[in-house]
Structure 1
Amino acid sequence: MTTDTHPVSTQRLTVPTTNPKVYKALVALQMAAAADFDAELAELIKIRASQINGCAYCLHMHVSDASAMGISDRKLHMIAVWREAPNFFSEREQAVLEFTEAVTRLGEHGVGDDVYARAAAHFDEFGMGQLLANVIMINAWNRVAVTSRYPAGDDERGQ
């Protein structure tokens, strides 16, 4: 068994400067995913996936964004335990959080028909595509930030 003894604070690379074409492509995909999609739902997706993936950088960024857009602290504190706190979330939000978890933790059996159907009950085909794109994008960003060791509290957007 190997133990990584490097401090988490040692950033490995900064994709916007080391790989600007890749970064610009990711930003373009993020913008396409966000188009015509509910911004509050998008933040719930970003927060839940970032919690699952252990991405402190993205979690800090998106909790801050969600708070700035008016999502209550009470709701933000319950995202990690949404199943045990259903009164904080609408049926649509619960379906989105469940779908986010299923796509983020894909596993060998994929996303179950029941999970997909619960989400699809709240979106048309275009909306389901946007939902999926939003989950895919935060998972991509989480992997960039965790692998590169982006420090929590810094925000490359300058916010």
Structure 2
Amino acid sequence: MSTTTTRRVKLANVVPDFYKAMIEVDRVSAEGIDPKLAHLVRIRASQINGCAYCTDMHSLDLLKLDDNQQRITLLPVWRESRNFYSEQEQAALELTEAITLISVDHVPDEVYEVAAKAFDEKELAQLIALIITINMWTRVGVTGRMEPGHYKP
């Protein structure tokens, strides 16, 4: 990764209507999803995409919901620590990774099938929307070089 002293644009300041629309998409995409599950998904996609700001933000939000720090710490290696995550969470994390890394395997049928068994159709649609949305946010964070440590839940 190259570092630069070039000032990065802040989308919220320069294109506020776009940014407000993103906030609305974020709100709608999380409707009906358990908040703890939503933050696990957001953290995992943020980790994969290298967005320190989003990883920090959603980790703090999850901790505020009285979740366990150990679940956050083990999230990058969730497959090796499955006993910390429910079957539904595991299915969501697998789908999160597949959608986030879409160019690798194009969301394999077997990953989708596991998620489709763990969630009803509406929940699955909301989960997919949430995953797409956090991937959008991480692109804002990484492109803008947003730094962790400034978010207050």
> Do the two structures share a fold, i.e. TM-score over 0.5?
yes
What is the number of residues matched between the two proteins?
A: 153
CA–CA distance in 2 between the matches of 1:93 and 1:135? Answer: 13
Q: State the SS of the aligned residue for 1:121.
A: helix
Q: Which runs of 5+ in 1 are unaligned?
A: none
Once the 2 structures are TM-superposed, how far is the Cα of residue 97 of structure 1 from its aligned partner?
Answer: 0.4
Deviation track 1:82-119 (CA, whole Å, cap 9, x = no partner) reads: 00101111111111000000000001541111100111
Matched, 1:118 2:105: no
Identity of aligned residues (%): 43
Matched, 1:76 2:72: yes
Cα–Cα, structure 1 residues 109 and 25, in superposed 2: closer, same or farther, change >3 Å?
A: same
Q: State the SS of the aligned residue for 2:146.
A: coil
Q: TM-score, normalised by structure 2?
A: 0.94
Q: TM-score, normalised by structure 1?
A: 0.91
Select the structure that is richer in helix.
Answer: 2
Residue 87 of structure 1 corresponds to 83
Q: Which runs of 5+ in 2 are unaligned?
A: none
Residue 67 of structure 1 corresponds to 63
CA–CA distance in 2 between the matches of 1:73 and 1:5? Answer: 31
CA RMSD of aligned residues (A): 1.5
> Structure 1 residue runs of 4+, over 6 Å off?
none
